[in-house]
Amino acid sequence: MKTKAFFSILLSSLTFYFSSAQAEMGDVHGKIDVGVAIADLELISGGERGKAHTLEGISTNGSIIFSNGFTLKPAAIYAEDAGNYYSLGMGFGWYIPLQEGISILPNVGVSYSRLIARTGLPTGVPNNTEMRLRSRVQYMGMEVAYKLCEKLLLTGGVQHAWNQSTSSFSIAALPTSTAESRGFNYSASLDYYLNESWTVQLAGTIQHSRSNETEGSDAKGVRLGLGYIF
């Protein structure tokens, strides 16, 4: 698929760029992760949960840390099943080492996403309808990293996110709607260091977003992948 090929080419290009440029940018270091991901997304309307959208795809993210601690955190996801989903985002933070093996990273960021769904639609919508959901998410959060031993690094994070979304349907008679919601996102990852340049990573995330007591969404996902350290 063209989109998957794009992400593969993008990752290869970034890896090559940071490897070749490291000599010239000795004060910049970081990590790129890419892996296969599976996620469940539930839309909540009128207090009722729709059928979960189970999506499988590719997820990639990175941390680019400058000598003064300023950090860029790009991220991208593409997934599909009975529909498809993509997301592009950029975070900005400050890397603060507290002591040997422990660091924190306060951060803010924004992401843009689009979901095309054909199952799990709101009550009253015909089954053959396609729903398109576009979202912009702004967040602020904190990451904590702790090196358990020479080979293992544990990272945990929490974000408070604000979501502005617009939904529309393939049937023109159905209304287009906009909504604002907010909630907390939680993430955790465990890296196993194969050597100084490569890791194997297992990561998971849980997201909750509500505009009120009866409207919103819940999502959870896991990813298994490789990380390249530059």
Q: What is the pTM of this model?
A: 0.78
Give 158 or 20, the one with higher predicted confidence: 158
Terminus-to-terminus CA distance in the chain, angstroms? Answer: 29
Is the predicted pLDDT of residue 184 greater than 90, yes or no? yes
pLDDT score of 48 = 67
Is the predicted pLDDT of residue 63 greater than 90, yes or no? yes
Is the predicted pLDDT of residue 2 greater than 50, yes or no? no
Q: What is the mean pLDDT of residues 66-94?
A: 91
Confidence of residue 229 (pLDDT cuts 50, 70, 90): very high
Summarize pLDDT for 105-156 with one digit per residue, the tens.
999 999 999 988 765 555 566 666 777 889 999 999 999 999 999 999 999 9
Q: What are phi and psi of 175, to 5 degrees?
A: -75, 150
Residue 29 and residue 220 in contact, taking contact as beta carbons nearer than 8 Å:
no
Q: What is the mean pLDDT of residues 73-100?
A: 91
Q: What is the mean pLDDT of residues 157-170?
A: 87
Q: What Cα–Cα distance (Å) separates residue 152 from each residue in 97, 103, 225?
A: 17, 14, 15
Q: Domains, the chain, ranges and CATH? A: 2-229 (2.40.128.90)
Give 133 or 7, the one with higher predicted confidence: 133
CA gap 55, 6 in Å, rounded: 19
% of the chain beyond a pLDDT of 70: 78
The gap from C-alpha 89 to its chain's centroid, in whole angstroms, comes to 8
Residue 137 and residue 111 in contact, taking contact as beta carbons nearer than 8 Å:
yes
Is the predicted pLDDT of residue 22 greater than 60, yes or no? no
% of the chain beyond a pLDDT of 90: 53
| Tokens encoding 172 | 């023109």
Q: What Cα–Cα distance (Å) separates residue 79 from each residue in 9, 23, 26, 57, 120?
A: 17, 35, 35, 4, 16
- Greatest alpha-carbon pair distance for the chain in Å reads 60
Q: What is the mean pLDDT of residues 6-14?
A: 54
Q: What is the mean pLDDT of residues 82-87?
A: 82
Nearest to 123 by CA among 214, 44, 54: 44
Nearest to 10 by CA among 95, 74, 63, 72: 74
| Tokens encoding 83 | 């529909």
pLDDT score of 154 = 98
CA gap 160, 50 in Å, rounded: 24
